């Protein structure tokens, strides 16, 4: 349980990376953009991949009536997410510590992992919902109003994961360093839970 | 009779057969050669060239940028000439760049570009070029590829032995081709002899920003100072100038200035003169010349008139100036990469004269003089001569070096480039040029470190090289591959204006630092609007200032009323794009000036003086986006007596 608890204490610390590294990256390349434009989605806001990318994406998007990319103060998520992550890191490390002091067992470790996974899925759902709104809630006075072959108005939701062709742009959306660090951290906590579970009998035997 | 007819027919057929064979052989031979040359110059779509080449525009007044080996032209940089394409010399910000002591001059004859150096190697900070007609030197940034500074040279005329730089860019040097009265005064022309002076100007270059300042002018005897080059390596600290018309003729020069068997190469120890000047030497002479400086943060040029120049009499600095006798009106004056050999290209002879720097120093130390000219010691020809290149060509003009011990000289009269070996002076190879070659250029070919892969020959006569375009046509250049023992002609391309000299450097020296945009948050132009909300129109008497911004694809504001006939309307336009290669243009109907082409983050100003009542449109001239055609606006012009209030708007009805 000592080993499991140590891993449990380390795992959540990987989430600290989210305060520096982007969670997600969306790149837009086109013939006239050989150096693609891109945005990095951090837990506290959207930033340029290269300087002025946001300004240039907004400049292009105004033709098709998309809203400008949100500033941190325009979305509650960007102030809430850093707090939620902070709470989860503290909670995870404390759980590991309590496990080390034998106050809680491995089930708490798995509990943290499940809670974090639920929050993660909710976060993804929220992110996707924003992208749907961003890509479909278009200005009725847009300069270019394009239609799909079936006559429905064309929408521009970026993919949550992977690549899509959007007019002249190739849009690629993938998890970035922050997400990979979070994933690694979460896997470590799951591993901690697994080790705790494997060793549960030894503990009970030694107790009797 | 019938029989003989058959015989004749057979012979004719046979003859045709042979002719056909021969033609076939010729074609295939040419084809194979052409295809290997094609591979050497072919830069596939999307690929980039190996070298930049900066060709002077001669009488276009500008500098053109090419790629090597493709011969593709990338840009024309306006320097001494108004350039309606971008508004250079037309916009309020750039008009001051063309000011001189003679007033605004819209043109010059741009001659010899030279890239800045550190330790004798190209460093790619700036490129300098001389205006020959109204003597000026320009400095062009190799980050923005824009002209940043132009300094006028007083007491000079025909600024031809310019603009060559010393090996740490301490000085850019400008010598006069025509000697003139110094200071200028009213006097009979035929009293030229011993009264006129030839000014050699040493212009210091401030290392951080490149700002130029005339440190001193050496007032030499009234010869014609034709071309020059700096010493390098061991001869660093010296500068060499070819002279002609040591006869000091003032009329029918083509005959009268060609009578002396030998003219001179003037060797100037500028370090010695610099020391003399730093210790308070020299005479301050009142004069008047323009110094024009462009500020990148305000996007604006300003002119300062300078009233004084420091002159130095060569006789006041003993041991600073010597004459090296050189046969037959030498033109080009070139120094090899080691700094040991000074080549005088005697344009009226078949031979090249090569002087030795070591021998020159020995002769000076031994005080072995062969008389003097106006008090300046003349060294003995035999004492300084290193060797003579017996070329067999005619009319040598210029020499460049490949850094592998070879030199390449152009021969104007015999239309060829001759390759010869430094030290043995033997001719290794010769190839024709098309036609009458002037200068030639090897990237870095006049530095300590040449990149001896290609030589570009710049020709004065084009004739039949391209599809004819009437009596007037562009000049022509040829590219030779010089990586092997023999030169190989691999490409032929037209050039713009009349390239005199050129300068080249490896692409990687400049491409990575080439600027993409101007930052809007660093724009300090007094009339810039950095936020569209600040766009406005202000009236000061009959001057109206329009603070306008542009972004794809509209002007802010685009409807303006309250302008009156007789107003002087200033359009101050700021491009709010911060994206690479998205300029916006501006043009107003009936405007007596050129358009503006405004780069991202830049502000430019154009004046319009409406003369007629009406509603007059303006538009963006650069196809900036799919909505470019919509990028337009209107100005309402009312009678002078009208009292319509000044108003402006965007997107309102």
Across the interface, whether the CB atoms of A59 and B577 are under 8 A apart is answered yes
Interface confidence (ipTM) of the complex:
0.84
Is residue B24 one of the residues assigned to a domain? Answer: no
For residue A53, the chain B residue with the least C-alpha distance is B579
Q: Are residues B505 and B538 in the same domain?
A: no
Across the interface, whether the CB atoms of B626 and A63 are under 8 A apart is answered yes
In angstroms, what separates the C-alpha of A55 from chain B's closest C-alpha? 8
- Cα distances from A194 to residues A103, A104, A106, A200, B530, in angstroms, run 18, 15, 8, 10, 59
Is residue B21 one of the residues assigned to a domain? Answer: no
Is residue B444 one of the residues assigned to a domain? Answer: yes
Across the interface, whether the CB atoms of B578 and A52 are under 8 A apart is answered yes
What's the farthest any 2 CA atoms get from each other in chain B?
107
* Cα separation, B410 vs B418, whole angstroms: 6
Q: Are residues B457 and B329 in the same domain?
A: yes
The burial of B307, by beta-carbon neighbours within 10 Å (0-12 exposed, 13-18 middle, 19 or more buried), is given as exposed
DSSP assignment, residue B347? Answer: T
What's the farthest any 2 CA atoms get from each other in chain A?
77
Q: For residue B578, list chain A residues with Cβ-Cβ distance below 8 A.
A: 51-52, 55-56
Is residue B260 one of the residues assigned to a domain? Answer: no
In angstroms, what separates the C-alpha of B625 from chain A's closest C-alpha? 10
Across the interface, whether the CB atoms of B627 and A59 are under 8 A apart is answered no
| Inter-residue contact B388 to B412 (CB < 8 Å) | no
For residue A57, the chain B residue with the least C-alpha distance is B579
Substitution target in A28, A49, A50, A52 with the highest count of B β-carbons within 10 Å is A52
Q: Are residues B479 and B535 in the same domain?
A: no
Q: What is the pLDDT of residues B436-469, one digit of tens each?
A: 999 999 999 999 999 999 999 999 999 999 999 9
| 3-state secondary structure at position B122 | strand
Q: Are residues B497 and B616 in the same domain?
A: no
Please tell me the predicted confidence (pLDDT) of residue B250: 84
Is residue B20 one of the residues assigned to a domain? Answer: no
Q: Are residues B298 and B184 in the same domain?
A: yes
In angstroms, what separates the C-alpha of A33 from chain B's closest C-alpha? 9
Substitution target in B580, B600, B601, B631 with the highest count of A β-carbons within 10 Å is B580
Across the interface, whether the CB atoms of A59 and B551 are under 8 A apart is answered yes
Joined tokens for residue B437? 């070659």
- Cα distances from B58 to residues B112, B331, B576, in angstroms, run 9, 17, 36
DSSP assignment, residue A68? Answer: P
In angstroms, what separates the C-alpha of B628 from chain A's closest C-alpha? 12
Q: Are residues B313 and B419 in the same domain?
A: yes
Please tell me the predicted confidence (pLDDT) of residue B254: 79
First to last CA, chain A: 17
Q: For residue A143, list chain B residues with Cβ-Cβ distance below 8 A.
A: 627
Other CB atoms within a 10 A radius of the CB of residue B324 amount to: 28
| Inter-residue contact B217 to B311 (CB < 8 Å) | yes
Q: Are residues B456 and B392 in the same domain?
A: yes
The B residues from 244 to 283 touching A (CB cutoff 8 Å) are none
Across the interface, whether the CB atoms of B578 and A143 are under 8 A apart is answered no
Average pLDDT (A147-176) is 92
Question: Is B366 or A202 the better-scoring residue by pLDDT?
Answer: B366
What residues contact residue B487 under an 8 Å CB cut-off, 6+ apart? B408, B417, B419, B429, B431, B455, B480, B481
Substitution target in B520, B549, B552 with the highest count of A β-carbons within 10 Å is B552
Query: Per-residue confidence at A201, pLDDT binned at 50, 70, 90?
Result: low
The residue to which tokens 């204490």 are assigned:
A9
* Cα separation, B175 vs B223, whole angstroms: 11
DSSP assignment of B125-177: EEEEEEETTTTEEEEEETTT-SEEEEEE-TT-SS--S--EE-TTSSEEEEE-S
* Listed residues B513, B536, B553: the one ending a domain: B513
Q: What is the mean pLDDT of chain A?
A: 92
Across the interface, whether the CB atoms of A63 and B627 are under 8 A apart is answered yes
Phi and psi torsions of B551, nearest 5°: -155, 155
The B residues from 531 to 560 touching A (CB cutoff 8 Å) are 551-552
| Inter-residue contact A81 to A44 (CB < 8 Å) | yes
Q: For residue A52, list chain B residues with Cβ-Cβ distance below 8 A.
A: 517, 578-579
Q: Residue B561 is part of a domain; what is its CATH number?
A: 2.60.40.420
By residue range, what is the domain housing residue B139? 56-249+274-513
CA B588-B594-B599 angle, 5° bins: 90
Please tell me the predicted confidence (pLDDT) of residue B249: 87
Please tell me the predicted confidence (pLDDT) of residue B27: 42
Q: Which long-range contacts (CB under 8 A, 24 or more apart) does A88-94 make?
A: A88/A12, A88/A15, A88/A112, A88/A115, A88/A116, A88/A119, A89/A12, A89/A13, A89/A15, A89/A16, A91/A12, A92/A8, A92/A9, A92/A11, A92/A12, A92/A15, A92/A116, A92/A189, A93/A9, A93/A12, A93/A13
pTM value is 0.91
Please tell me the predicted confidence (pLDDT) of residue B19: 44
Q: For residue A55, list chain B residues with Cβ-Cβ distance below 8 A.
A: 578-579
Q: Are residues B132 and B278 in the same domain?
A: yes
Give the relative orientation of helices A2-10 and A77-100 as an angle to the nearest 10 degrees: 160
Q: Are residues B218 and B331 in the same domain?
A: yes
* Listed residues B513, B540, B568: the one ending a domain: B513
Average pLDDT (A74-96) is 96
Substitution target in B512, B578, B628, B651 with the highest count of A β-carbons within 10 Å is B578
Q: Are residues B644 and B615 in the same domain?
A: yes
DSSP assignment, residue B343? Answer: E
Please tell me the predicted confidence (pLDDT) of residue B17: 47
Q: Residue B81 is part of a domain; what is its CATH number?
A: 2.130.10.10
Is residue B549 one of the residues assigned to a domain? Answer: yes
Is any Cβ of chain A less than 8 angstroms from the Cβ of B627? Answer: yes
Q: Are residues B583 and B450 in the same domain?
A: no
Please tell me the predicted confidence (pLDDT) of residue B1: 45
* Cα separation, B472 vs A80, whole angstroms: 72
For residue A143, the chain B residue with the least C-alpha distance is B627
**How many domains in chain B?**
2
Across the interface, whether the CB atoms of B578 and A55 are under 8 A apart is answered yes
Q: For residue B629, list chain A residues with Cβ-Cβ distance below 8 A.
A: none
* Cα separation, A195 vs B367, whole angstroms: 96
Is residue B470 one of the residues assigned to a domain? Answer: yes
Please tell me the predicted confidence (pLDDT) of residue B21: 44
* Listed residues B483, B513, B543: the one ending a domain: B513
Is residue B124 one of the residues assigned to a domain? Answer: yes
Joined tokens for residue B552? 């794809």
* Cα separation, B519 vs B550, whole angstroms: 15
Q: Residue A87 pLDDT more than 80?
A: yes
Q: Are residues B543 and B630 in the same domain?
A: yes
Please tell me the predicted confidence (pLDDT) of residue B554: 94
The strand order across the sheet containing B559-564 reads: B596-598, B584-588, B614-619, B632-638, B559-564, B647-649
Residue ranges of chain B with per-residue pLDDT less than 70? 1-35, 653
Q: Is B632 left (phi over 0), alpha (psi -120 to 50) or beta?
A: beta
Please tell me the predicted confidence (pLDDT) of residue B601: 97
CA B605 from centre of chain: 27
């Amino acid at each position: 349980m000592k080993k499991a608890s140590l891993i449990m204490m380390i795992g959540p610390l990987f989430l600290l990376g989210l305060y520096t590294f982007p969670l997600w990256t969306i790149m837009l390349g086109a013939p006239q953009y050989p150096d693609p434009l891109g945005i990095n989605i951090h837990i506290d806001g959207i930033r340029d991949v290269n300087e002025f990318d946001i300004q240039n994406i907004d400049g292009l998007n105004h033709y098709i009536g998309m809203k400008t990319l949100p500033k941190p103060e325009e979305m509650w998520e960007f102030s809430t997410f850093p707090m939620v992550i902070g709470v989860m890191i503290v909670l995870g490390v404390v759980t590991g510590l309590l496990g080390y002091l034998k106050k809680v067992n491995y089930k708490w470790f798995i509990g943290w992992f499940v809670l974090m996974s639920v929050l993660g899925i909710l976060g993804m759902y929220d992110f996707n919902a924003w992208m749907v709104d961003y890509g479909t809630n278009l200005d009725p006075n847009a300069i270019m109003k394009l239609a799909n072959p079936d006559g429905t108005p064309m929408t521009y939701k970026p993919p949550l994961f992977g690549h899509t062709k959007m007019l002249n742009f190739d849009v690629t959306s993938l998890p970035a360093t922050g997400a990979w660090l979070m994933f690694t951290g979460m896997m470590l906590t799951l591993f901690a839970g697994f080790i705790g579970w494997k060793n549960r009998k030894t503990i009970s035997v030694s107790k009797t | 009779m019938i029989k003989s007819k058959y015989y004749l027919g057979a012979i004719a057929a046979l003859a045709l057969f042979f002719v056909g064979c021969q033609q076939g052989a010729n074609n295939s031979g040419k084809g194979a050669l052409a295809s290997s040359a094609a591979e050497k110059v072919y830069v596939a779509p999307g690929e980039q060239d190996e070298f930049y080449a900066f060709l002077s525009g001669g009488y276009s007044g500008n500098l053109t940028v090419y790629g090597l080996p493709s011969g593709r032209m990338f840009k024309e940089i306006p320097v001494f000439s108004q350039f309606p394409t971008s508004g250079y010399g037309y916009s309020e910000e750039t008009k001051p760049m063309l000011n001189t002591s003679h007033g605004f001059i819209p043109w010059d004859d741009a001659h010899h570009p030279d890239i800045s150096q550190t330790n004798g190697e190209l460093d790619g900070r700036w490129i300098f070029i001389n205006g020959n007609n109204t003597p000026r030197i320009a400095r062009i940034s190799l980050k923005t590829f824009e002209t940043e500074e132009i300094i006028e040279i007083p007491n000079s005329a025909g600024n031809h032995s310019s603009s060559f730089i010393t090996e740490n860019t301490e000085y850019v040097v400008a010598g006069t081709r025509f000697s003139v009265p110094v200071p200028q005064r009213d006097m009979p022309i035929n009293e030229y002899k011993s009264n006129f002076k030839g000014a050699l100007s040493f212009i210091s270059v401030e290392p951080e920003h490149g700002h130029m300042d005339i440190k001193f002018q050496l007032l030499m005897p009234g010869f014609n100072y034709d071309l020059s080059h700096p010493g390098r390596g061991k001869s660093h600290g010296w500068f060499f100038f070819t002279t002609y018309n040591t006869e000091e003729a003032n009329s029918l020069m083509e005959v009268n200035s060609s009578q002396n068997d030998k003219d001179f190469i003037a060797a100037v120890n500028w370090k010695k003169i610099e020391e003399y000047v730093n210790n308070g030497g020299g005479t301050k002479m009142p004069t008047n010349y323009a110094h024009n400086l462009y500020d990148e943060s305000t996007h604006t040029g300003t002119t300062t008139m300078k009233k004084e120049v420091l002159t130095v009499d060569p006789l006041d600095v003993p041991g600073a100036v010597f004459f090296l006798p050189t046969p037959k009106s030498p033109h080009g004056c070139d120094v090899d990469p080691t700094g040991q050999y000074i080549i005088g290209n005697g344009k009226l002879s078949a031979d090249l004269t090569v002087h030795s720097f070591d021998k020159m120093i020995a002769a000076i130390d031994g005080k072995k003089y062969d008389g003097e000219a106006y008090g300046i010691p003349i060294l003995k020809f035999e004492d300084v001569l290193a060797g003579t290149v017996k070329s067999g060509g005619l009319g040598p003009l210029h020499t460049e070096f490949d850094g592998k011990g070879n030199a390449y000289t152009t021969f104007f009269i015999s239309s060829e480039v001759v390759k010869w070996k430094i030290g043995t002076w033997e001719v290794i190879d010769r190839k024709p040029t098309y036609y009458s070659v002037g200068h030639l250029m090897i990237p870095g070919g006049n530095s300590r470190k040449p990149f001896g892969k290609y030589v570009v020959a710049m020709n004065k006569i084009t004739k039949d090289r391209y599809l004819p375009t009437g009596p007037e046509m562009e000049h022509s250049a040829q590219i030779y591959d010089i990586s092997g023992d023999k030169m190989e002609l691999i490409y032929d391309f037209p050039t713009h204006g009349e390239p005199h000299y050129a300068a080249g450097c490896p692409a990687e020296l400049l491409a990575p630092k080439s600027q993409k945009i101007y930052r809007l948050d660093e724009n300090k132009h007094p009339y810039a609007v950095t936020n569209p909300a600040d766009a406005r129109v202000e009236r000061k008497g009959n001057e109206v200032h329009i603070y306008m911004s542009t972004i794809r694809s509209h002007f802010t504001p685009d409807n303006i009323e309250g302008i009156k006939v007789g107003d002087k309307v200033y359009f101050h336009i700021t491009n709010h794009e911060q994206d690479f290669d998205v300029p916006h243009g501006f043009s107003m109907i009936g405007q007596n000036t050129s358009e503006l082409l405004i780069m991202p983050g830049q502000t430019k100003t154009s004046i319009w003086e409406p003369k007629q009542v009406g509603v007059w449109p303006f538009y963006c001239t650069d196809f900036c986006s799919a909505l470019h055609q919509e990028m337009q606006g209107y100005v309402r012009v009312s009678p002078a007596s009208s009292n319509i209030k000044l108003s402006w708007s965007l997107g309102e009805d």
